[in-house]
Each structure stands twice: as structure tokens, then as C-alpha cells.
């Protein structure tokens, strides 16, 4: 994913912050999560060292009050947390984001 496309994703989360619009996120393995954006753009809270090529970048966002529509078994550990929240960064960004059943963002290579 290119940085410009990623920043557009972050701005989508910022645009829909605190307005309680449900966002639905779709991943390539079939996982689908629904939730709201309460934070908008945030600092990345990654355990990956900043000098690593795998480092997802300085900014990320969060999907909060997560409702699982479908979860691939490989994602159970990553999406199962007591805060019902998931950090979205460049590494785990979804393919598509919908707001009220309308596509508002699509991942580009």
C-alpha cells in the first residue's frame, strides 16, 4: 500500500470520529469487523522497532466497540481483546471500508 492511500484511510477514520457512524472493514481472508472511530488519527502503538522495515509508520487509527461479523480462525487472537478495539496500521489495513453500506475507502497496492 502506498503512503498516500494509507493517509486517506486515516483521514476517513478522522472524518467519522465520534459521530457514531458504523464502519465496516473487510480483509482479504474474509474477516469482517464493524465498529466506530472514537480516536481518529493516533500514534502507532506497535511493538515493532522503528528501524525495522516492517515498522508500520508513525500514525495509526483504531476501530472501537468492535462487533465481529465474521472472523477467520487465524485472526482470532489478534481481534480478541477485552477493550473491543483494534489498532489499524499499514501492516494490517483492511481491503475495504464501508460507512452505512457505502464504500468510503479501498486499499491500493
Q: How confident is the model at residue 96 (pLDDT cuts 50, 70, 90)?
A: very high
β-bridge pairing 85-88 and 96-99:
unpaired
Would you state the cell numbers that stand for residue 7, as one nine-digit string?
493517509
Q: At residue 98, does pLDDT exceed 70?
A: yes
Closest CA to 42 of 28, 30, 27, 57: 57
Would you state the cell numbers that stand for residue 69, as one nine-digit string?
461479523
Question: Beta strands of 1-109 (E only): which ranges?
Answer: 23-26, 32-36, 41-43, 59-70, 85-88, 96-99, 102-106
User: Which element (helix H / strand E) includes 8?
Assistant: helix 3-15
Contact partners, residue 79, CB within 8 Å, separation at least 6: 31, 33, 66, 68, 71, 86
Distance CA 2, CA 39 (A): 23
pLDDT digits (tens, 9 = 90+) for 33-92: 999 999 888 877 667 777 887 776 678 899 999 888 888 777 666 655 666 888 888 888
Amino acid at each position: 500500500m502506498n503512503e498516500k492511500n494509507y493517509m486517506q484511510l486515516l483521514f476517513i477514520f478522522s472524518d467519522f470520529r465520534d459521530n457514531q457512524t458504523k464502519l465496516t472493514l473487510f480483509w482479504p481472508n474474509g474477516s469482517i469487523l464493524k465498529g466506530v472511530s472514537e480516536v481518529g488519527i493516533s500514534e502507532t502503538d506497535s511493538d515493532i522497532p522503528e528501524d525495522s522495515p516492517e515498522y508500520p509508520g508513525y500514525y495509526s487509527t483504531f476501530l472501537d466497540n468492535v462487533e465481529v461479523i465474521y472472523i477467520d480462525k487465524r485472526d482470532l487472537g489478534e481481534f480478541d481483546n477485552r477493550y473491543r478495539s483494534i489498532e489499524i496500521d499499514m501492516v494490517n489495513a483492511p481491503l475495504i471500508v464501508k460507512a452505512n453500506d457505502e464504500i468510503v475507502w479501498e486499499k491500493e497496492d
